[in-house]
Amino acid sequence: MKKIIILLLFPIFAFGQQEQWTTLNVVGKLDTNWSLAMEGEQRYSWENDYIRYFHYDAGLVRTINKNLKLGFFYREIYEIKRGERVVEIRPHTDAFITHGKHWKWRVRLEYQQKEIDEDLWRFRIRPTYELRKLKQADPFIQTELNFTKYGFTRNRFNTGLTFHWGKITIQPAFLLESLNKGDSWKHVTAVWINNKISF
């Protein structure tokens, strides 16, 4: 177990930490098929010493069968871009797919309504592999591919551990975000603490 934790935390020491991301998800069942899902997330920049990003997200999730759920969400983003804080609205539809014991897929189609940039449709696919062999914690590895009409625009590589305590889940992880800037790629590293409460 100690060797796995060291292996998963190694990227933090190798690449450094530019940002701290913190997410809180709250999911509650409405009946046997429908759930209410809410999320808040902030991203703190160590370099600039301020919270550069915050979003809240709310929606309904429909269980189709044991391997498939569909979600319908509204997201509002407040972010500092080009020296000013701007607002972005992102309605999105998600499919949550479970494949076997180890694989989970989240597929998203969203419409980005931006205050200072071009409005865009974006397609995102996020596969996650979970080891599911340890009682104390589940190591996982994840990547997140994003596409617009301009092609492949962003990837997020994420590796960490999942801890479960009853209805509370905590996932500390290292994240490497790569952004396609046209003629070059910009990379951001972050420690991401993802928290979930179910009821």
pLDDT tens digits for the chain (199 residues)?
555 555 555 555 556 568 999 999 999 999 999 999 999 999 999 888 999 999 999 999 999 999 999 999 999 999 998 888 999 999 999 999 999 899 999 999 999 999 988 999 999 999 999 987 776 788 999 999 999 999 999 999 999 999 988 899 999 999 999 999 888 998 999 999 999 999 9
**Residues facing residue 42 across a β-bridge:** 22, 54
Q: Where are the domains of the chain?
A: 2-198
* R_g over Cα of the chain: 17
Residue 169 · residue 196 · CB < 8 Å: yes
DSSP symbols for 51-84: EEEEEEEEEEEEEEETTEEEEEEEEEEEEEETTE
Neighbours of 39 (CB within 10 A): 18
Give the CATH number of domain 2-198: 2.40.160.40
Enumerate residues 6+ apart whose C-beta is below 8 A from 190.
Answer: 17, 18, 19, 20, 21, 43, 174, 175, 177
Residue 186 · residue 156 · CB < 8 Å: no
Backbone angles phi, psi at 10, to 5 degrees: -55, -40
Task: Quote the pLDDT of residue 5.
Answer: 56
What is the widest separation between alpha-carbon atoms in the chain? 49
In the block, residue with structure tokens 């499919």: 95
Task: Quote the pLDDT of residue 47.
Answer: 85
In the block, residue with structure tokens 């972010």: 79
Task: Quote the pLDDT of residue 6.
Answer: 57
CA dist 41 and 21 (Å) reads: 7
Question: From residue 79, how far is each of 43, 88, 99, 127, 128 by CA, in Å?
Answer: 9, 8, 35, 26, 27
